[in-house]
Amino acid sequence: MKINTKQKIIVIGGGFAGVQLIKNLDEQLFDILLIDKINHHQFQPLFYQVAASQLEPASISFPLRNIFKYKKNLQIRLAELLSVNAFENKIDTSIGSFNYDVLVIAVGCTTNFFGNEVIKQNSFTLKTTNDAIAIRNHILQTFEDIISAEENDKEALLNLTIVGAGPTGVELAGAFAEIKKNILPKDYPGINFTQFNINLIEGSKDTLNSMSDLAKSTSRKYLEEMGVHIMSETFVKNYDGNTIELSNGNSLKSKTVIWAAGVIGNAVNGLDSNAKKQGNRIAVNRTNLVEGCLTIYAIGDIALMETPKYPKGHPQLANVAINQAKNLAKNLKRQANNTTQKEFEYTDLGSMATIGRNKAVVDLPFYHFKGYFAWLVWMFLHLMLILSVRNKLIIFINWVWAYFTKDTSLRLILKQK
């Protein structure tokens, strides 16, 4: 009888890091159990296009069982991680307990409301496909409501507010500005869209504050030309679902607030308190081994790895997650073969954001550029990151159609009764 000598690896999370790790793990050495709360991988960089009715959710959502249909050494379970027991090499989940030889935590991050539960209850977030669908439904329903609303109720309905002017906030604001100009007036000819305001609130001085000076100034210029009202150096103190209280003493009536003002690591119970760092991230060494553990690793946005180049940890980007996953897969094979592991080193390839049609900014390590060419680069690189050839084609056709027609015909309100 053949004895199974494969190590059992449990991977928590099917995001960029989890998917890449599983794709690169040696099938001859490891049996893998993937645990996630949802049954699909989500392409977060394009959530804003789903929210703005520019792409269908199915175009950027990939069933995990389909991604790994040829992986004979993989099992998938839909469950929520409840706690980790490092002493017994065991995890507790919503469907029971599982033992492991190696545990890899790739749970990513969630929206950070900085402890304000009232804002959390009344705002939209954009961290999942469901979030994007909820925003799309709400925006379209809002315009249906405006048509029949009393005059004194219209002010709040006619203010769409985005909090946070990082890439997500800027891309959302640009997308909504475009549909305000090109699409919604055709659907709702009875609404005066000069009264519809897109507000972008940012606590720092600039939009795209983590990018180059060119990106900061260009993104602000583009957005203002598109009619977006930018309130920089301003914080939201509270929001009750109707009125936003601002740090400058002013208030703003708005029925729509989308919170894109920061992230915090998803909670993982059971780990040593010394492993939990700022932003709820998990401290790891240069091979992504969790501090104080021998068999637990963390990769992607949840991992905080301090290096000489990144003393405060790596940026929470898809490219970091993907490369940490690939390096860990190789290291686990090296470990199984008793060879020397390789420390992770991230090479920053740059960052980018799109503000709208023909408008984008790209920061490369030694060169920054903007405009039409930057927009083409943004489109190409995002298409290359999409998992399947079929979805690449669908998204490309959608983009081409939208470019020439300035329309997408995807404005469906899909709600449960």
Which pLDDT does position 416 carry in this prediction? 62
pTM: 0.92
Domains in the chain with CATH codes? 7-37+79-111+263-336 (3.50.50.60), 117-261 (3.50.50.100)
Residue 410 binned pLDDT confidence (cut-offs 50, 70, 90): low
* 3-class SS shares of the chain: helix, strand, coil, % to 5: 35, 25, 40
| pLDDT-above-90 percentage for the chain | 78
Amino acid in position 243:
T
Question: How does pLDDT run across 189-222, given as a tens digit for each residue?
Answer: 888 899 999 999 999 999 999 999 999 999 999 9
Report d(CA 204, CA 200) in Å as an integer.
Answer: 12
Which residues have CB under 8 Å from 389's CB, separation 6+? Answer: none
Phi-psi region of 179 (alpha: psi -120 to 50; beta: other; left: phi over 0): alpha
Using the predicted structure, report yes or no on whether residue 132 has a pLDDT greater than 90. yes
Complete edge-to-edge strand list for the sheet that includes strand 96-99: 81-85, 90-93, 96-99
Residue 232 tokens read as: 């920089």
Please tell me whether residue 46 adopts helix, strand or coil conformation.
Answer: helix
Phi-psi region of 249 (alpha: psi -120 to 50; beta: other; left: phi over 0): left
Please tell me whether residue 161 adopts helix, strand or coil conformation.
Answer: strand
Question: How does pLDDT run across 220-274, given as a tens digit for each residue?
Answer: 999 999 999 999 999 999 999 999 999 999 999 999 999 999 899 999 999 988 8
Mean pLDDT over the full length of the chain: 92
What is the DSSP secondary-structure string of 282-344?
EEE-TT-BBTT-SSEEE-GGGEEE--SS-TT-----HHHHHHHHHHHHHHHHHHHTT------
Report d(CA 153, CA 115) in Å as an integer.
Answer: 30
Q: Sign of torsion, CA 65 68 70 71?
A: negative
Using the predicted structure, report yes or no on whether residue 17 has a pLDDT greater than 80. yes
| pLDDT-above-70 percentage for the chain | 98
Which pLDDT does position 230 carry in this prediction? 97
Instruction: Please name the residue that has the structure tokens 């040593």.
Output: 272
State the pairing for strand pair 359-364/351-356: antiparallel
Over residues 300-325, the mean pLDDT reads 93
Which pLDDT does position 417 carry in this prediction? 57
Asked which of 20-29, 141-150, 295-304 is least confident by mean pLDDT, the reply is 141-150
Burial of 231 by CB count in 10 Å (0-12 exposed, 13-18 middle, 19+ buried)? buried
**Which carries the bigger pLDDT value, residue 105 or residue 278?**
105
Report the half-sphere exposure of 28 (CA within 13 A, side-chain side): 3
Using the predicted structure, report yes or no on whether residue 14 has a pLDDT greater than 70. yes
Which pLDDT does position 3 carry in this prediction? 52
